Amino acid sequence: MQRYIPLFIGALAAFSTGWVGAQAARGEPISIGATLELSGAAADVSRDALAGAQFAVEFVNRNGGVLGRPIVLTHQDNGTNPQKAVLQASAMAKDGVKFLMTASSAGSIAVSKVVAAKEKIPMCASTSSSDDLTIKEYNPYVFGIGPNSYMVYRSVAAHLAKQPYKRYGVVAADFLGGRSGANRFKEFIKEYNPQAEIVVEEYPKFGATDFTPTINKVLAAKPDYVFTMLFGIDLLTFSKQAQAVGFFQQINNRISGLYDGNTLKAMGAGAPVGTDGFQVAAVNVLAKSADGKTFVDTFKAKNGEYPSDWSTLAYDCISVWAQAANAAKSIEADKVMAAIESQTFKSPRGALRLGKFDHQAEAPTFIGKVVQSQEFGQPVLELSEVIPGARSRPSEEVVKKLRAASN
C-alpha cells in the first residue's frame, strides 16, 4: 500500500495550503469542455464526475492555473446519447476548447473517434472502463485515467482464481462497458483457472427496474460464485431486490460488484455486508495517508459528501491534463500529449504514469469486502488486496496483438 497512498505529496503539498492563500491564476482564461451523461441511465455516475471536475478546476486555479492562466469548464448533458455527445464535443471544439472530458464508454469512444482524433484535442475518458479506448479504438490524443476493463477484470479474476470456485455466473448490464467487462472477466477467469466454467450469463437492460428474472435464473443455475458488472443505480436496484428474496444468503455472499462510494452510501444499512467488491478509488483507502485525507476532507467540506470513485477519476482527468500542460509549458495538443507520455503525475490515488503506446494510466484496483464503517458513517470496502496497475495493465506486445486482431 505504501506504493500507492503516500505519493500524493507533490500536488497536495500545495493542496493543504492551496485553499488558504496560494497564488491564484490570472490572465486570459483557458477553455476546457465536458460532455456528460447527466440524465439517463448513467446520470448518477456523471453527476459525481461533474463534481470532481469542478473541484479540480477550483483547485488548479487556486494554485496558479495552467501557465499562470485560469481554466474555465463548460459542460453539457448528452442524455446518455453518444450522437449527442459528439455534437456537443464538436461545438466545443469549434469554440476553441483545449481539452475535452467524457464519461460513459459509448460516448467516450464516439467523441474520441469523431472529435478528439480529427480536431487534435487532448481528451480524457473519466469514468469509462472500456479498454477499447486505449487499445482497439486508440488515437494519440486520448488518455485513460482509471484502470480499464482489461485491468480491473484481470485483477478480479486473478484474485478469485485463488479460491476454490469452478462454476461462475456472470451478470452485466447490456451496454458497451458492461459487455466489455463481462467478456474480459470470462477470458481471464478461464486463463487463471482452466477448470472454471460459466454456467449462467445474464445481461439485463442498462437502467433496468426489475432484476427478478435475472435473480431467478442465477439461483436456478446454482453457481459457486457470481461476478457482476453492475454499478451505480443498477447495482443499487439489483441489491435491493436480491436482499428482498434472500439472494445473498442463498449464495453464501459469494458475489462481487463494483461498489463505488456513493452507491455504498445509498445502500446504507441495506448494504450486502460480507459480499465481495472492487473499486477504482476507494475513499477509505485514500484517507489512510495524511495527504489523501486532505483531499477527501476538503472535497467533503465543499460538496457535503465524500468523493466517490467517479469524482476522483474526473478530478484526475483535469489535474493530469493541467500538470502535463504546465510541464510542457504549452497548451498545444502535441506538446501536452508528449508530456502525458513522459511525466509522472500526482493524484489522490498515488503517483500515476501513462503508457506511451496506449496512454493508459497504471492505476490500481482495490478489492475487499463490504462492511459498515463507523468512521465514515456508511458502508465501505474493507481492503483485502490492491492490484497495482503495473501488474494488471496489458503489455505493449499484447496491445499490438489486440489492435492487429481488430483490423
What is the full DSSP assignment across 58-95?
Answer: HHHHHTTTBTTB-EEEEEEE-TT-HHHHHHHHHHHHHT
**Is residue 306 one of the residues assigned to a domain?**
yes
Same domain, residue pair 188 and 315: no
**Is residue 21 one of the residues assigned to a domain?**
yes
Same domain, residue pair 377 and 246: yes
CA–CA separation, 150 vs 54, rounded Å? 29
Same domain, residue pair 353 and 373: no
Scanning the structure block, which residue is given the C-alpha cell 431467478? Answer: 216
Same domain, residue pair 325 and 306: yes
Q: How confident is the model at residue 204 (pLDDT cuts 50, 70, 90)?
A: very high
Residue 19: is its pLDDT beyond 90?
A: no
Look at residue 100 and give its three-state secondary structure: strand
For residue 258, the surrounding DSSP H or E stretch is strand 255-258
Same domain, residue pair 311 and 384: no
Residue 2: is its pLDDT beyond 80?
A: no
User: What does the buried/exposed string (b/e) look like for 138-176 if buried means 16 or more CB atoms within 10 Å of the residue's CB?
Assistant: bebbbbbbbbbbbbbbbbbbbbbbeeebebbbbbbbebb
Interval 24-65: pLDDT, tens: 878 899 999 999 999 988 899 999 999 999 999 999 999 999
Mean pLDDT score, 142-156: 95
Q: What integer pLDDT is reported at residue 22 of this predicted model?
A: 54
Domain that holds residue 129: 6-147+285-363
Q: Supply the DSSP string of 197-244, one letter for each residue.
A: EEEEEE-PBTT-S--HHHHHHHHHH--SEEEEE--HHHHHHHHHHHHH
Same domain, residue pair 203 and 341: no
Q: What integer pLDDT is reported at residue 146 of this predicted model?
A: 95
0.85 exceeded by pTM:
yes
Same domain, residue pair 11 and 118: yes
**Is residue 168 one of the residues assigned to a domain?**
yes
Residue 18: is its pLDDT beyond 90?
A: no
Which residue did the predictor score with more confidence, 382 or 24? 382
Q: How confident is the model at residue 222 (pLDDT cuts 50, 70, 90)?
A: very high
Mean pLDDT score, 241-247: 96
Q: Supply the DSSP string of 295-346, one letter for each residue.
A: HHHHHHHHHSSPPPHHHHHHHHHHHHHHHHHHHHT---HHHHHHHHHH-EE-
Question: Number of folded domains in the chain?
Answer: 2
**Is residue 344 one of the residues assigned to a domain?**
yes
83 touches 40 (CB < 8 A): no
Residue 382: is its pLDDT beyond 50?
A: yes
Scanning the structure block, which residue is given the C-alpha cell 472477466? Answer: 185
What grid cell was written down for 207? Answer: 437502467
CA–CA separation, 373 vs 126, rounded Å? 27
The answer for 79, left when phi > 0, alpha when psi is -120 to 50, beta otherwise, is left
- How confident is the prediction for the chain on average, in pLDDT? 91
Same domain, residue pair 91 and 106: yes
Residue 98: is its pLDDT beyond 50?
A: yes
Q: How confident is the model at residue 290 (pLDDT cuts 50, 70, 90)?
A: confident
Residue 231: is its pLDDT beyond 90?
A: no
CA–CA separation, 355 vs 395, rounded Å? 9
360 touches 148 (CB < 8 A): yes
Residue 5: is its pLDDT beyond 60?
A: no
Same domain, residue pair 219 and 273: yes
Mean pLDDT score, 378-397: 93
Handedness of CA 140, 146, 147, 148 (dihedral sign): negative
The CATH number of whichever domain residue 160 belongs to comes to: 3.40.50.2300
Same domain, residue pair 313 and 356: yes
**Is residue 56 one of the residues assigned to a domain?**
yes
Say which amino acid occupies 121: I
Same domain, residue pair 14 and 102: yes
Same domain, residue pair 24 and 39: yes
33 touches 99 (CB < 8 A): yes
Share of the chain above pLDDT 90, in %: 83
**Is residue 1 one of the residues assigned to a domain?**
no
Handedness of CA 281, 284, 289, 294 (dihedral sign): positive
Q: What integer pLDDT is reported at residue 23 of this predicted model?
A: 73
Which residue did the predictor score with more confidence, 331 or 176? 331
Share of the chain above pLDDT 70, in %: 95
Q: What integer pLDDT is reported at residue 347 of this predicted model?
A: 93
Mean pLDDT score, 268-296: 90
Residue 395: is its pLDDT beyond 70?
A: yes
Q: What integer pLDDT is reported at residue 20 of this predicted model?
A: 39
